[in-house]
Amino acid sequence: MTDYHSENGSTLLVDPWQSAPIELNGRLERAGFPPWLTAILVLFVALILFQVVIAPIATIGLLLGSGTPVNELLPALATLATEHTKLLLIANTIGQVFALAIPTMLIALLHTRQVSPFLRLQGVDVKLLLLSVAGLAGFFPVVQWLGEINSTLPVPEFIREFEKLMLEPIERLLKEPGMLGFNIAMIALTPAICEEILFRGYVQRQAERSMGVTWGIVFTGLVFGAYHLQITKFLPLAALGIFLGYLTWRTGSLIPAMVVHLANNAIAILIGTYAANSENISLEDLENLSLPWYFVVAGMAIFVSAVYLMNRLANLELAERAQSETDPQAELPGAGP
């Protein structure tokens, strides 16, 4: 994937998954902003919008809409995590949509009118999608192993306590009956769409333009791990982010990353719901679960196999596309000698 200038001076982005270069002629491109700078600025703006503006406003609006008097707002806000957990999660979802997804797509318009190809919001070969999910299945034990390593790193106790407080509202919802569908929609589906549009859609595209494919994927994955503000889970989150970035680049589409992100979070919710309502295992036991080494090795073997097959299939598909573009008659029935 490279940038070059056309005869009329506009920047053209060449992506092998696109039949024609993406014309970058928006205001940010004409102003000459470096792609890496816009990626960092958008991340900063998204974080501020989410944490300081949209989510807090949505929380207050939902409290007022639920019948909380104005003079009781402060006490209600102080007990959000314990007495208004569902409302807090809805506000978080509103924040993701209006602070991450929608602003990212609007900012993409400042680069190009071809927003969908720029953000890789396009379809994908079903076989590539299935291999992406297979890769996730093999990646699970590896992620768990990285979590074990992360847990041994020195982290101040107050940070561990703060992260536990952050997870308490979710743990409380996991224990409530009849909330599984709601939890999957709020905790799995919404982040899978909104975070992928921001990170793999915009940030990775811009990082690739500045740093190249490999470092662009790594940079986006590391930022993704840090964004969740969970130092004790940084390694597994960053590794997952790098895998999602690879899927996006290798398939030319955000769909595999969204599906894998959704599947990863949904499986965690299902397991967490079972543990939260079980007398034999607790959520803390799951956090401290140590897998045998052969599970990790087997998972890595599945993962590497899925990635290998995905590479072969993607290269074949790209070769077929290149052939059809150079010889339009190649795909017609009876074409050729």
Domain boundaries, the chain: 2-322
Report the distance separating Cα 101 and Cα 107, nearest Å: 10
Q: Which two tokens stand for residue 142?
A: 């590896």
Percent of the chain residues topping a pLDDT of 70:
92
Average pLDDT, the chain: 88
pLDDT tens digit string along 307-320?
A: 999 999 999 999 99
Report the distance separating Cα 12 and Cα 303, nearest Å: 35
pLDDT tens digit string along 204-230?
A: 999 999 999 999 999 999 999 999 888
Integer-rounded Cα radius of gyration of the chain: 22
| Rounded alpha-carbon distances, angstroms, from residue 220 to 154, 198, 200 | 24, 10, 7
> Strands 22-24 and 11-14, how do they pair?
antiparallel
Give the number of other Cβ atoms within 10 Å of residue 292's Cβ.
9
Q: How confident is the model at residue 4 (pLDDT cuts 50, 70, 90)?
A: low
**Roughly how many angstroms between the first and final C-alpha of the chain, as a whole number?**
34
pLDDT tens digit string along 161-192?
A: 777 777 777 777 888 888 899 999 999 999 99
pLDDT tens digit string along 75-134?
A: 888 787 778 888 989 999 999 999 999 999 999 999 999 999 999 999 999 999 999 999
Residues present in the chain in total: 337
Amino acid code (one letter) for 291:
L
Q: How confident is the model at residue 3 (pLDDT cuts 50, 70, 90)?
A: low
Residue 52: exposure state from Cβ atoms within 10 A (0-12, 13-18, ≥19): exposed
